[in-house]
Structure formats: structure tokens, C-alpha cells
Amino acid sequence: MLRFVYSIFRKDGKDGKYPESLVKKAIERAVDGTDPWIRAVSGYKKKLRPAVLHAIDHVVAMVDASAKPLLLDHESYDTNPVLRNFFISKADLARFLERDKDLAEFKGKQGRGWQGATALLLMRKAERGILGAVLSGEVVMRDVQQTTVSFEGHRLLDLSTTEEDTLYQLKKRAFDHLLGIALGRITDIKTRRGKLEKHRVLLQSKLDLLQREGWGFDDGAEGKMSVAGVEKMLGEIDARLLEIGKDDKMLDVYLGVVTDVLGHAEEHLWVKKEKLIIDRMGIKRKEPANDAPEVTLDVMGDAAGRNLVASLVFIPA
């Protein structure tokens, strides 16, 4: 699998294209990662191909634009403002490195050959409003509205002995993340359709009873329903079902979802640059200063509303 990952995210040096055999594997991965029944759609490979290639191009460009790995050790803490932003103290950084289970497992596998690791560090950026004191000239102003910034939920992904390995694993992860978004949309469609179909069966049974037995509700009672009322509701549900897709066209709908997500990958998964200025106390500032230098963060976002600060890191032995 790792060899496949390496290959699919590396273009052929001769013509800048991906090997055809690997493109086919990527298409099959897209199907397996969403709804395998999509294979029943005529020409699914041809329909998926442009979208899959677009998604791979996007993933490769996004990951390759990552900044050089940040040295993640306590010796760099005092001289690196980015590291000081991510961890409130040297002790906080040390605790993280000691307690991270994935890092401990990776070290264990390396044994005596442990020489350090490259990984992706992910965190949530939390901003909170507080009332604090500000020095204006020689006057201390109190109860001033301020914003504190902290980083939480640190975790390491795709640990490897080389930066190259980590980057390729991240590309695979990003591609699979897009498939996860597509799968979520397909699941939502199936859920909505299932609820509508159950409601339709209930109403149809009620309508059959009304028409067959001549039994009905008292027209004047609130909340009661006539034959005409049931027929109207059935018509509305049928219209909503048609909007989602006919029974014999649902696989085409699911294929369309996968094609749309992969074909517009940049709208579903992205990394943007964000400038941040905070002082040693974690207070957000408008202008940089000696104790509050400006740093640039990579913020990864997706169509589901998730936003995480991401940084490639190197953990020395």
C-alpha cells in the first residue's frame, strides 16, 4: 500500500502525467471509499477520471506547499516564536512529547535505531474574550477588552523517519479526507430518502385504508386528515423524493456526489495562511513588538466547518 501511495502522488518525469495503472487504482479507491455499488453505473471510470485527477493535483499542491518542518524540542523553545505560541511553556512541550501515544509507539518500533521523526502537528486555535489591564503611557487602564489565544488538542499524524514519507502519507490522508466528505453527503442523502420513504409508506397505508373502507377522520377536528389531505402530502413527498433522485437513478446520484467533491476538491479541503501576533501572556495584539512577533500559521479547513492549525514538525532523538 505504501508503494502505491508513493506512486500515485508522484508524476512521471517524462511527460508530467500519472501512470495510467495508478490512476485506475485511485479511481477504484474513490469508489471503495464511498459506495462500491457505484461500479454498477455504466462508464463510472470514465466519469470519475477527470475528478480524481483534479483531486490528486490539488492534494499534491496543497501538501507540497507546507513550510519546512518546525524543530519540536525544548532547546528551540526560547528562540522560536511559533513554538512559544503552540505551547505555553517548555514544560508543556515536554509533557506533550512524553505523553503522545503515537510518538511512544513509533519510538518503540524504532528501538535503538531511533534517530528522530517527522510528522504533522495538528491543533485547535481557541480565542477567548477577557477583561485585562493595559499600560497607556504611564497610566494603567483596567477592564480593557482583550482576546487570549491558545492552542489545544495537540496531536501528531503520519510519523515517519523521513520528511518525504510523511508528505506522501499526508497526501493519501488528504485524498481520503475528500472521500470521507463525499461519503458523508451520500449517507445524508440515503438518510433523508429513507425517512421520506418510511413516511410515504405510512401515508400510503393510511390512504389505502381511507379509500378501501370508507373510514375517515372527522373533518372538523383539529389535526384530522381527509383523503384529499393524505393525497396532497403523498404528492409533496413524491416531489421531494424526485428531487433527490428516482430509485433507478440513485447510483448515478451517488456517483455525481463523488465526482462533484473530487472535481471541486479545493472547495472542500484547503490550507490558508493566517497572520497572528500574540505576546508572552497569550494576548492577541494588533501590531508586532519585541515580545510579540508576527508569525504565519497554516490553517487547514474543510467544507464540514472544521479548522485546525497544521505544522510539519521534526522531533529529534
- Reduced to 3 states (helix: H, G, I; strand: E, B; else coil), residue 303 is coil
DSSP code string of 202-219: HHHHHHHHHHHH-----T
Task: Report residue 236: phi and psi, to 5°.
Answer: -65, -40
The residue ranges of DSSP E strands in 38-90, in sequence order, are 70-71
List C-alpha distances in Å: 132 to 5, 147, 263, 276, 277.
Answer: 51, 9, 48, 20, 17
Grid coordinates representing 280? 508572552
Identify the pLDDT of residue 221. Answer: 42
Identify the pLDDT of residue 209. Answer: 55
Beta bridge partners of 235: none
Identify the pLDDT of residue 208. Answer: 67
Identify the pLDDT of residue 250. Answer: 86
Question: What sign for the dihedral angle of Cα 210, 213, 218, 219?
Answer: positive
Grid coordinates representing 239? 416531489
Identify the pLDDT of residue 225. Answer: 55
Whole-model pTM? 0.82
Could you say which residues of the chain have pLDDT below 70?
1-8, 10-16, 199, 202-203, 205-227, 229-231, 234, 237-238, 240-248
Phi-psi region of 143 (alpha: psi -120 to 50; beta: other; left: phi over 0): left
Burial state string for 25-38 with b = 16 or more CB within 10 A and e = fewer than 16: ebbebbbebbbeeb
43 burial (CB, 10 Å; 0-12 / 13-18 / 19+) is exposed
